[in-house]
A and B are shown apart, each in its own frame.
Chain A
């Protein structure tokens, strides 16, 4: 099975711009979660989508948004970029079924976003 893929791998943007990142989950996985990783804050949860619906949301401002398509692929968008948004953005996929004994999340390689 192919793993989780993320595009693009690297992005450079300037303050005030907006950016869209894409994530393709493992085949058959219906849950996609997004995380932001920075040296100062570590791995922080952004949101999770399951069957095209946002099921969980972290403590990030409304500039961070996402969506999921019927094929489970997901995108996240960051509007009005700030310098502090520079980070590695990771997505992870899992089966996401309630009551599952184990709901292991598998991560993609991430998108490295640099805001200048």
Chain B
């Protein structure tokens, strides 16, 4: 079964606020994690990734935090915009299974003006 899960199925924020989307994983062998954004009618779009030898990685307006001790991953979006409204998935890859990602259920982020 899937080893990656999400704490909250929906998240509503006001435009300009920061958003935090959480993800839990259970497989200690997971060594690579990716966040994807999926808009309605489209395929998942790569946002940011992180290797297990890192705790934090920053991109443009996004930061991913990895806590291996509690097997927790989070995506922080700064100054959330209406265009950020989408479903966000975390995915993990276990080094022994190249080409296979395990996905969480997804969090629906809605940004209100």
Q: Which residues of A contact B (CB under 8 A)?
A: 4, 31, 33, 35, 42-45, 48, 50, 55-56, 58, 90, 92, 94, 96, 98, 101-110
- Tally of B interface residues using CB under 8 Å: 25
Contacting pair B46 A104 (CB below 8 A): yes
Whole-angstrom distance between the Cβ of A23 and the nearest chain B Cβ? 11
Contact A90 B105 (CB under 8 A): no
Contact (Cβ within 8 A) B97 A43: no
A96 touches B44 (CB 8 A): no
Residues of chain B within 8 A (CB-CB) of A108 are: 43
With A107-B36, A107-B43, A109-B42: A33-B49 Cβ-Cβ less than 8 Å: no
**A55 and B106 form a contact (CB under 8 A):** no
In the complex, the answer to whether A109 meets B99 with C-beta atoms within 8 Å is no
8 Å CB contact of B89 from A43, A55, A103, A109? A43
Q: In the complex, what's the smallest C-beta–C-beta distance from B81 to chain A, in angstroms? A: 22
What 9 A-B pairs are tightest by C-beta distance, nearest first? A48-B99, A107-B43, A43-B103, A107-B44, A56-B100, A109-B43, A31-B99, A110-B43, A33-B99
